[in-house]
């Protein structure tokens, strides 16, 4: 809801040079929180982790109003990342607990579908509220939505059977808590895939504004709608035909969409590119998360999910910082940033094919 308006808001605070930090700082803290949220999800339970993340979302969205400075804004972006680091890890582990293995891809598709419906429609509402009422009302509305989510999550029945009471030593991470080695391949594929997403979230709104879009949130809405169209079908497809086949199709779509976005000279071509990128995300995300839960040890499911999210946030964060540096607030540089993103997605295909050829036992079908 708030994302499309944050670059302009940061400009108004005098922080135009820090646009890359809007996504970058958020993903850094989300990434740092993942080993903790994964360990806690496997010890004290899934539901408490979801609640912690949701409560943090309420607090940070409210505090944006009270801290109208560049340094305060950047600090809040850093804190805000912990919301995703906890709530999404917990909810993904929760879902994997309650669905049968043979429908895991389909279930992950449904989770992503609802996630993207909210993430895709809310930017339109956020831009409308900001334009007609002001940015502070946007932050208040975001807090109210987070509060509603907290009320829903509060009534969830815990699915972790042998949960423990929280103790401070649960926050003492061991080396194995940092990542689940069993899921290294889908985690790396996720990194190369979402580099482009960090690029779009950082400079895509500037491209939309340059092409005279009336509402910058439209590109996210289009990406979301196209992702929604394919998510559940993609999950079923990967359940039937294999994770690797679905991921390859998704990466090829992503490369095509990003290259078209780099060449966009009109809103029509930008919107078409956004539609294709959305299809790619809808194909890849449920497939990769189903792949991760296929591969993970049931006792360390939270750790496995947190591992792939670490790579997701690392890819988005690095993509954000790098694309902002290449773009440098100069519209003539924007195509180069998108070309770089397409190159990262291509590396993902090369990695998958190389592993498929030389280490086929590492690929789950």
Every domain of the chain and the residues it spans = 3-159+177-362
Q: Are the CB atoms for 323 and 207 separated by under 8 Å? A: no
Q: Which two tokens stand for residue 121?
A: 């429609």
Q: Are the CB atoms for 122 and 5 separated by under 8 Å? A: no
Nearest alpha carbon to residue 93 among 49, 154, 57:
49
Nearest alpha carbon to residue 199 among 9, 10, 341, 17:
341
Cα 258–Cα 307–Cα 256 angle in degrees, nearest 5: 10
Q: Which two tokens stand for residue 288?
A: 């990769």
Cα 92–Cα 158–Cα 232 angle in degrees, nearest 5: 30
Fold topology of 3-159+177-362 = Growth Hormone; Chain: A; (1.20.1250)
Q: Are the CB atoms for 281 and 195 separated by under 8 Å? A: no
| Interval 6-37: pLDDT, tens | 888 888 888 878 877 887 788 788 878 888 88
Q: Which two tokens stand for residue 216?
A: 């910058």
Q: Going residue by residue through the chain, which has 365 residues, state the pLDDT in tens, using 9 for 90 and above.
A: 888 888 888 888 888 788 778 877 887 888 788 888 888 888 888 899 899 999 999 999 999 998 888 999 999 999 998 888 888 888 888 888 888 877 777 777 778 778 777 877 788 888 889 989 999 999 999 999 999 989 988 888 888 888 888 888 777 777 777 767 778 888 889 999 999 988 998 888 888 888 988 877 788 888 888 887 887 677 778 788 778 888 899 999 999 999 999 999 999 999 999 999 999 988 888 788 788 877 777 777 777 877 888 888 888 888 888 998 899 888 899 999 999 999 999 999 998 888 766 555 554 44
| Interval 225-243: pLDDT, tens | 888 788 767 777 878 877 8
Q: Which residues contact 210 (CB under 8 A, 6 or more apart)?
A: 331, 334
């Amino acid at each position: 809801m708030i994302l499309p308006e944050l670059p302009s808001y940061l400009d108004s605070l005098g922080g135009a040079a820090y646009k890359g930090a809007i996504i970058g700082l958020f993903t850094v803290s989300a990434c740092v929180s993942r080993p903790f949220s994964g360990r806690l999800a496997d010890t004290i339970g899934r539901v408490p982790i979801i609640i912690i993340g949701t409560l943090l979302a309420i607090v940070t969205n409210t505090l944006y109003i009270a801290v109208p400075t560049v340094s305060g804004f950047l600090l809040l972006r850093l804190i805000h990342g912990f919301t995703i680091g906890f709530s999404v890890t917990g909810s993904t582990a929760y879902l994997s607990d309650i669905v049968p293995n043979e429908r895991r891809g389909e279930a992950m598709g449904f989770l992503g579908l609802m996630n993207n419906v909210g993430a895709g429609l809310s930017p339109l509402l956020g831009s409308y509220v900001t334009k007609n009422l002001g940015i502070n009302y946007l932050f208040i509305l975001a807090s109210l939505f987070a509060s509603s989510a907290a009320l829903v999550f509060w009534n969830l029945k815990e699915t972790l059977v042998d949960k423990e009471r929280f103790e401070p030593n649960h926050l003492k991470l061991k080396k194995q808590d940092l990542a689940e080695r069993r899921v290294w391949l889908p985690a790396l594929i996720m990194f190369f895939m979402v580099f482009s997403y960090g690029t779009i979230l950082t400079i895509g709104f500037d491209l939309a504004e340059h092409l005279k879009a009336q509402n910058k949130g439209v590109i996210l809405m289009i990406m979301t709608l196209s992702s929604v169209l394919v998510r559940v079908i993609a999950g079923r497809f990967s359940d039937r035909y294999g994770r690797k086949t679905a991921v390859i199709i998704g990466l090829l779509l992503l490369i095509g969409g990003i290259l078209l976005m780099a060449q966009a000279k009109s809103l029509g071509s930008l919107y078409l590119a956004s539609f294709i990128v959305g299809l790619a995300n809808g194909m890849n995300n449920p497939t990769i998360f189903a792949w991760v839960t296929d591969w993970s040890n049931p006792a360390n499911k939270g750790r496995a999910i947190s591992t792939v999210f670490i790579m997701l946030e690392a890819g988005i964060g690095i993509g954000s910082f790098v694309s902002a540096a290449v773009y440098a607030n100069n519209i003539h540089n924007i195509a180069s940033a998108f070309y770089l993103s397409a190159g990262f997605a291509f590396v993902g295909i090369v990695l998958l094919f190389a592993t498929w050829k030389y280490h086929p036992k590492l690929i789950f079908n």
